[in-house]
Amino acid sequence: MNVLLVDVDSKIPNLALMKIASYHRGMGDTVGFRVSDPKKIYASVVSKKNRHRVDGLRFLYPDAEIDIGGTGYDIHKVLPEEIEHQSPDYSIYVDCDRYLGFTSRGCIRNCPFCYVPKKEGRFHRIYDSAKEALDHIIGNFVGRWKQVELLDNNILADKEWFMEVSQEIMSREWRVDFNQGLDIRLLDEEIAQRLAELRPIRDWKFAFDNSSYEKAVMDGIDLLNANGVDVRNRCLFYVYCDGDYQYDDAVYRCRRLKEKNALAYVMMNAENNTTKRTRALKRWTRPQIFWTIDIDDYKVRA
Ligand code: SF4
């Protein structure tokens, strides 16, 4: 059977499509992004605003069975069990240079803008050991790369698991990225020390989404600095701004981060309209601008 994959808008290699590719290749099917005359099509949409981009599939391929998923299309949809448990087929993304996967699912929190608790439930490990997790994430691509991008939504929710997974990563001499960020409210001395030992692929990412946990963010920054993590150059703090009504609060959070020598990165809610000042705020958190000028001066000039 010919199976066509459609990746509408993923910013990183799409894990679900890689698992689907593994499953169908294992069944002897021809699978990929340029397969002609498909009998089955899987499309993935990450962002809601791109939903319309799969509308034409039913007209283009009237005889094919079409399966559309992704958080931008249906946040409740999950892969069938037999596909979810596949290791990824990294070969469908020729530029892929790292392993990707989850070692846990779910989250202990319930942030109003986040789909994770609704889709994945409470935090839980999905492997019995870190070795099993990483071996499964590698699949048949043993020895290809020395870096892994973990997509866990809140791995610090289980400190013991974080320590085990990160120890396994260090023993393999890999670099790592915690793609979804690390929950600074759960940081302690031991975790900060571990972050100083690990080799990041990119910056360590944290969030300062709400002023209600300002103290935890400030204390967390102090802990990172005290344990040898280069906060200014090696960390990034997402500042969520739901819409224009949160502008002042977002500015406050950015300024507090700047006072602590920590880089802010404003994340706007993509579902809400932006305004002139929220767009300026987002632009302001580009590092070269953020470090040199205050938002009020930037707005005047922008
Ligand atoms: S901590 Fe992160 S993953 Fe958990 S609910 Fe909040 S935004 Fe979602």
Q: Among 124, 154, 217, which is best to mutate for testing ligand 1, by the most ligand atoms less than 8 A from CB?
A: 154
Partners of 30 in the β-ladder: 2
- What residues have CB less than 8 Å from 51, skipping those under 6 apart? 45, 72, 73
Nearest CA to ligand 1 atom 8: 114
Partners of 7 in the β-ladder: 44
Can you tell me the distance from the alpha carbon of 118 to that of 114, in angstroms, rounded to the nearest whole number? 8
SS3 67: strand
Q: Please list the rounded mean pLDDT of every run of 10 residues in the chain (302 residues).
A: 97 97 97 96 93 92 95 90 96 96 96 88 97 97 95 98 98 97 98 98 96 97 98 97 96 98 94 90 96 91 68
Q: State residue 302's pLDDT score.
A: 67
Residues with CB under 6 A from ligand 1: 107, 109-111, 114, 116-117, 153-154, 183
Can you tell me the distance from the alpha carbon of 39 to that of 51, in angstroms, rounded to the nearest whole number? 22
Nearest CA to ligand 1 atom 1: 109
- What residues have CB less than 8 Å from 146, skipping those under 6 apart? 172, 173, 174, 175
Can you tell me the distance from the alpha carbon of 209 to that of 237, in angstroms, rounded to the nearest whole number? 9
Q: State residue 42's pLDDT score.
A: 97
Q: Among 104, 105, 109, 212, which is best to mutate for testing ligand 1, by the most ligand atoms less than 8 A from CB?
A: 109
Can you tell me the distance from the alpha carbon of 195 to that of 204, in angstroms, rounded to the nearest whole number? 8
Q: How far is the CA of 208 from the centre of ligand 1 (A)?
A: 11
Q: Token pair of 72, please?
A: 């931008």
* pTM to 2 decimal places: 0.93
Going from the C-alpha of 190 to that of each of 44, 161, 206, the distances in angstroms are 38, 13, 17
The number of helices, as runs of H, and strands, as runs of E, in the chain is 13, 13
Q: Among 104, 105, 114, which is best to mutate for testing ligand 1, by the most ligand atoms less than 8 A from CB?
A: 114
Nearest CA to ligand 1 atom 6: 111
